[in-house]
Chain A
Amino acid sequence: MAKFLRPESFSAATEDLSLLPFNFERTGANQYLVANMVGDFVHLSEEELNRLVDLQVRPGDGLYEKAYAAHLVTGANQKAQRQLLAARLRSRMSFLQHTTPLHIFVVTLRCEHSCPYCQVSRQSTDRSRFDMSEQTAMRALDVAFGSPMARIKIEFQGGEPLLNFPLIKKIVAAAKQRPGKKLDFVIASNLALLDDAVLEFCKDNNVLLSTSLDGPSDLHNKNRPRPSANSHELAVAGIKRARETLGPDRVGALMTTTEASLERVDEIIGEYLRLGLDGIFLRPLSPFGFAVKTKQYAKYDAQKWLAFYERGLRRILEINRQGTPFREFYAALLLTRMLSDRPIGYVDLRSPAGAGLGALVYNYDGSVFASDEGRMLAETGDDTFRLGHVEHDSYSSLILSDKLIGAISSSLTQCAPECSTCVFESHCGADPVYHHATQGDALGIKPLSAFCARQKGIMGLLLDILERSPEDAAILRRWAAA
């Protein structure tokens, strides 16, 4: 029998080692959080980080093992780790193969609510002025069917889209008649106008309903004034009816955060639980349209919102620990990115940005926008994200428009100052519309950005729970796996 060699015989010499790309951030006096190219995290002390950068690592010293397993260091002549990183990056970015899966039709701007933060709605009853025409709708369908996706989602928005229900029916029928694409439909409605005819239509055509629910009745009604002050009552009744008729997974609810919400996250979550919903999306208030005009947005900053978010997340974890599965959807999204390489093309959290590439918005008047927020900006006179018009544009002329290419290419996190070296970059996204709205620049100065502060805050919080609270970490891991 030949002699067996000892472990030292298999370790590489220092000159054969090579660093792989990584980002890092100081997390404490002597502590760094380090992320490899695909966003796997490790903690290193300052001394370890310095030794690593100088390649003063040797098999057996503990640091070599940590750095090698995390793809921070490799053998200069080795290929596997580079190929692994490439394969994983390819998987993470493969959402780019799915261009414009979402098409939003603003079938009317009219609404019977008058919410103070609402970006765009009009109480007008002047149909001819604020409803989408059938001709515009059919042209918009031409554009939507011009996208290369085999499956697209058509979402109806408003205003209150059910005020133009006849057009929704026509669009669904016409879309189904066209060959070549699988279709999903969603109506985003406050459900105040939900009736048997609408429910039956949704059932027959497999249409999902998405509604707004801001929390308990007084909060919701304050946020969403309506002549008879019964918005909450109608939304709750609508959710229940829709669940009964269409099935529990065919209706979803979204909350809008206002200053009044900030102290009441437990109650808001309680309301979602009470209605049997399986989770909640704790959203920040967007800084667009009327929200800016009414100074709602300025009333609280990112730190206040983060405190709200953390309290909410911890409450949700407690609910899970007590045996009721319930998720916070934004955390679930981030965790999927942090713990797996599944491609997540979520429109508001990707780079290249989801504007246009993830969704196109067809406004009632035929203008086409790169995102819903871009449309809201236009309502206040800023046409930066108005890509064109259905009458004289095609899918490719919109997607290849200078405006869109400019917005997307100038906001890439992969090469933006601050983002390109940020430890969270792999899991973050570009939001050119937000940064344009708040800073007048698609890229934005990240240290001044509330978006950035929220991202860092939430990811830091999630990492902290994953590392320190095993029971909660197990719950978070389940969210990522689902």
Chain B
Amino acid sequence: MTLPLYGTASQSAGFFSDKPRSVLRLRSVDSAAERLAADFAIVRTPDDIRRAIEADWPSVLVISDSSIDLPGTFNGRLAVVPPKYDYLADGDVIGFDHASRKFRTLFRRNSAHNSFLVTERCNNYCLMCSQPPKNVDDRWLLGEIKESLPLIDPAIRALTFTGGETLSDWEDFIAVLKECRDRLPATAVQVLTNGRAFADSRIVDAWKDIGHPNLMAGIPVYASIDYVHDHVVQARGAFDETILGILKLKDRGQRVEIRVVLHALTAPIIEDTGRWIARNLPFVDHVALMGLENTGFAIANDAMLWMDPVDYSSGLARAVDHLSAAGVNVSVYNLPRCILPKSVWPHALQSISDWKNGFVEECDRCDAKTSCSGFFTTGRPRFSRGIQAITAG
């Protein structure tokens, strides 16, 4: 199943027009937590509504498919969303556009996979981008994130910032990361970036100065050869800047994860790439070798990119061997267990975000289902011919 993270409210009232959008935090009606201006009681039934009004809630979010009549005495803010957003719960944060009534779920407190989209702009144009770049002024996104951070449960274990290129407006974004340092010091903060910005010493110094205790830059490296990487990311000179960026980050003691997305241009050479990383960058903190999410540009470039994972799994296993022999912490993401050689299993993680993770029928009789990554449900999923239930017998 795919969880709907975008939607349109069927009804709204009371939102001021002094600004175009608001960030809302949802609270259960009976919540005893301190109420902030952004807090909305989340209600589902007429009984909930009555209790919310009794409890003096000035703002209410209703999950219902029928239109809602509130007592005339209620003059606070109201938004009504359809029942398919029933997953929304206490502590969740949504962004709401006043005029269009469009909303986006920004944060789910019960999820291990929370990520903020920082911008859709990017100086790469990757052939398989799952979030195709748009050259638009979307700086309001950073503003929304800034507004959200104080509303996020500081106990949350992990938070990801993604793009676009997250460092497109690096000064503003680094200010956001400083907020994270102050408000979410116990959270593992991961920033997905193409790393090119770090070739600029000013930016990497500013990054170092953030001083968040658990901050990691996740940076893609697709090959050991300049033009192969540059072709994948469709940007000349990207390889040089990215590798330089990684070196500068490590030189300043910053944590770095290398991310390699596997497809027909990168998977056939994954053993070479793995060996090269093991030899040249063994000091990175983590390497993730990742199955392709068949969405965004990956669909358009399917003919160029699709490669059945069973056809590269032995090279992948050798890459994992090279990396672990060099002491590099390596994981395999997004690839189902049944197509991976056994030596890779200890490295294979359930990596697909909960809201877009699914299984196929074959999986129902598989003993490995609870430890298997399963599949992306987004885009146009493609399945390996190697999928076969793993059974004891």
Contacts and interface: CB of A to CB of B under 8 A. Distances in A.
B236 A75 contact: no
Contacts of B225: 59, 64-65, 68-69
The A contact surface, by secondary structure, is helix
A12 B234 contact: no
Given A5-B234, A69-B225, A477 B127 contact: no
A478 B321 CA distance: 11
Contact of B228 (A6, A7, A9, A88): A7
Interface residues of A, number: 31
Residue in B231, B239, B282 whose Cβ sees the most chain A Cβ within 10 Å: B231
Given A1-B132, A10-B231, A12-B227, A87 B247 contact: yes
Given A5-B234, A340-B326, A79 B282 contact: no
B247 A84 contact: yes
A29 interface: no
Nearest to B125: A2
Contacts of A396: none
Contacts of B306: none
A64 B223 CA distance: 14
B243 interface: yes
Contacts of A87: 247, 250-251
A207 to B, nearest CB: 31
The B contact surface, by secondary structure, is helix
Given A1-B132, A79-B244, A80-B244, A68 B226 contact: yes
Interface stretch (B56-64, B146-154, B272-280, B362-370): B272-280
Interface residues of B, number: 35
A78 interface: yes
B231 A80 contact: no
Interface in A53-86: 59, 64-65, 68-69, 75, 78-81, 83-84
A80 B272 contact: no
B325 A7 contact: no
A2 to B, nearest CB: 7
A11 interface: yes
A11 B234 CA distance: 12
B379 interface: no
A437 to B, nearest CB: 37
Given A69-B224, A88-B280, 17 more contacts: A1-B297, A5-B231, A6-B231, A10-B230, A40-B279, A59-B225, A59-B227, A69-B272, A75-B226, A79-B240, A80-B239, A80-B244, A80-B247, A83-B247, A340-B282, A481-B326, A481-B327
Interface of A: 1-2, 4-7, 9-12, 40, 59, 64-65, 68-69, 75, 78-81, 83-84, 87-88, 339-341, 477-478, 481
13 contacts: A4-B125, A4-B127, A4-B301, A5-B234, A9-B236, A10-B226, A10-B236, A78-B240, A79-B244, A80-B239, A80-B241, A83-B244, A84-B281
